[in-house]
Amino acid sequence: MAAADTEKLNNLRSAVSSLTQISENEKSGFINLVSRYLSGEAEHVEWSKIQTPTDKIVVPYDTLSAVPEDAAETKSLLDKLVVLKLNGGLGTTMGCTGPKSVIEVRNGLTFLDLIVIQIESLNKKYGCSVPLLLMNSFNTHEDTQKIIEKYAGSNIEIHTFNQSQYPRLVVDDFLPLPSKGETGKDGWYPPGHGDVFPSLMNSGKLDTLLSQGKEYVFVANSDNLGAVVDLKILNHLIQNKNEYCMEVTPKTLADVKGGTLISYDGKVQLFLSLQLLEIAQVPDQHVNEFKSIEKFKIFNTNNLWVNLNAIKRLVQADALKMEIIPNPKEVNGVKVLQLETAAGAAIKFFDNAIGINVPRSRFLPVKASSDLLLVQSDLYTEKDGYVIRNPARTDPANPSIELGPEFKKVGDFLKRFKSIPSIIELDSLKVSGDVWFGSTVVLKGKVVVAANSGEKLEIPDGAVLQNKEVHGAGDI
pLDDT score of 271: 59
pLDDT score of 456: 95
pLDDT score of 299: 85
pLDDT score of 257: 60
Residue 76 exposed, middle or buried by CB count within 10 Å (0-12, 13-18, 19+): middle
| Tens-place pLDDT, residues 404-427 | 999 999 999 999 999 999 999 999
**Cβ atoms 347, 267 nearer than 8 A:** no
* Ramachandran category for residue 445: left, alpha or beta (phi over 0 → left; psi -120 to 50 → alpha): left
pLDDT score of 265: 67
Sign of CA dihedral 310, 342, 344, 366: positive
Number of H helices, E strands in the chain: 13, 27
| Tens-place pLDDT, residues 233-265 | 999 999 999 999 999 998 876 665 667 777 776
pLDDT score of 274: 31
**Cβ atoms 78, 119 nearer than 8 A:** no
| Tens-place pLDDT, residues 48-75 | 777 777 788 899 999 999 998 899 999 9
Query: Residue 90 belongs to what H/E stretch?
Result: none
Bridge-based pairing of strands 434-437 and 400-403 is unpaired
- Whole-angstrom CA distances from 392 to 336, 376, 415, 445 are 50, 16, 28, 15
pLDDT beneath 70, residues of the chain: 41-45, 47, 253-258, 265-266, 270-283, 285, 287, 289-295
